[in-house]
């Protein structure tokens, strides 16, 4: 989920509550505040806790809430998981340590420490493009054996690696795509779903793609996939979540405010994004 901000930079709590309802009404299976798309890296601990609390309250147990709780410091990631548990989150998403560039054994020990510190389900987030390091399939399969590690959000864009994890993972370990454009591929290969950016703008259509694929209706899923592909690509024309928040502002769901170092879309990107949003009928859908 994105985090709506007011013009003064504070969290827009009213917009956040409305956005929770928009997502649930659109058919998502769970909510994930304070991740990358939620600008979690620029939220302080009090803001993070407040956002998670609001999302849990507004969700009202209609769907699970998974809190973004990662850090490149193992001690800080442990503390974040403990705070999420105390807030009532149903699980946490914990990113592979960035900047430090740990060894494969370092990744294993990092997630082992988090999982053993608190009795809360942990989703591992592998995103080499942001962290500077890749959690290899062999390492992920070791991590999958740790109690409380329940899933991976795989955003390596390496389908060979993802297939290795899907093929050899424990039966109760879930593999979720971390890339919207590859979500259909991952589910068709045996994966379990997606942690999505585009569902911020169009939760109903993205949910329909995944549900159709999980049901084996690849023809329907493929048709919807190609319909949404232009927006999937446009969401990364500049750094996520800049385009997604711009689109949501066009739809009248939030004010378009960011935390530095993120800045608004360039005029050229905005024109391209606006055209795609309009072609998908999202402006009219939001007005309803």
Residue-wise pLDDT for 205-246, tens only, equals: 999 999 999 999 999 999 999 999 999 999 999 999 999 999
- 């769907």: which residue's tokens? 63
Identify which of 209, 210, 280 has the alpha carbon closest to the alpha carbon of residue 251: 280
Q: What is the Cα 137 distance to its own chain's centre?
A: 20
Q: Does 288 score more than 70 pLDDT?
A: no
CB under 8 Å to 286, separation ≥6 — which residues?
251, 252, 253
Active site residue 153: yes
Q: What does the alpha-carbon distance between residue 32 and residue 92 come to, in Å, rounded to a whole number?
A: 9
CA 209 to chain centre: 16
Catalytic annotation, pick one of 85, 112, 153, 245: 153
Q: Which is the catalytic residue, given 107, 108, 125, 258?
A: 125
Place of tokens 């500049």: 238
125 in catalytic set: yes
CB atoms within 10 A of CB 46: 8
The answer to whether 169 touches 143, Cβ cutoff 8 Å, is no
Burial-class residue 61 by CB neighbours within 10 Å (0-12, 13-18, 19+).
exposed
Burial class (CB in 10 A: 0-12, 13-18, 19+), 261: exposed
> How much is the pLDDT for 70?
93
Residue 287 has pLDDT above 80, yes or no: no
Tokens 């998502």 locate to 28
Query: In the predicted model, is pLDDT for residue 2 greater than 80?
Result: yes
Average pLDDT, the chain: 97
Say yes or no to pLDDT of 48 above 70: yes
Beta bridge partners of 154: 126, 177
Q: How confident is residue 283, by pLDDT bands cut at 50, 70 and 90?
A: confident
Task: Say what the pLDDT of residue 191 is.
Answer: 98
Mean of the pLDDT values across residues 97-103?
96
CB distance 11 to 3 below 8 Å: yes
pLDDT digits (tens, 9 = 90+) for 56-82: 999 999 999 999 999 999 999 999 999
Question: Which letter does DSSP use for residue 266 in this model?
Answer: P
Confidence class of residue 285 from pLDDT cuts 50, 70 and 90?
Answer: low
pLDDT at 85 over 70: yes
């Amino acid at each position: 989920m994105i985090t709506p901000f007011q013009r003064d930079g504070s969290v827009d709590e009213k917009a956040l509550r409305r956005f929770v309802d928009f997502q649930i009404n659109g058919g998502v299976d769970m909510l994930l505040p304070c991740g990358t798309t939620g600008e979690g890296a620029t939220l302080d601990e009090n803001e993070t806790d407040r956002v998670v609390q609001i999302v849990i309250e507004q969700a009202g147990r209609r769907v699970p809430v998974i809190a973004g709780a990662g850090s490149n410091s193992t001690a800080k990631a442990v503390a974040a998981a403990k705070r999420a548990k105390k807030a009532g989150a149903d699980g946490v998403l914990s990113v592979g340590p960035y900047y430090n560039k740990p060894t494969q054994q370092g990744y294993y020990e990092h997630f082992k420490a988090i999982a053993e510190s608190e009795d809360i389900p942990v989703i591992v987030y592998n995103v080499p493009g942001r962290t500077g390091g890749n959690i290899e399939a062999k390492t992920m399969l070791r991590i999958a054996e740790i109690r409380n590690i329940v899933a991976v959000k795989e955003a390596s864009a390496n389908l060979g690696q993802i297939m290795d994890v899907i093929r050899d993972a424990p039966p109760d370990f879930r593999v979720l795509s971390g890339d919207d454009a590859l979500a259909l591929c991952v589910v068709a290969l045996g994966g379990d779903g997606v942690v999505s950016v585009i569902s911020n703008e169009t939760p109903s259509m993205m949910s329909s793609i995944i549900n159709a694929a999980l049901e084996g209706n690849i023809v329907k899923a493929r048709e919807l996939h190609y319909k949404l592909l232009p927006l999937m690509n446009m969401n990364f024309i500049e750094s996520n979540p800049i385009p997604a928040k711009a689109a949501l502002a066009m739809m009248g769901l939030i004010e378009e405010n960011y935390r530095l170092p993120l800045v608004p879309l360039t005029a050229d990107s905005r024109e391209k994004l606006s055209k795609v949003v309009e072609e998908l009928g999202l402006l009219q859908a939001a007005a309803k």
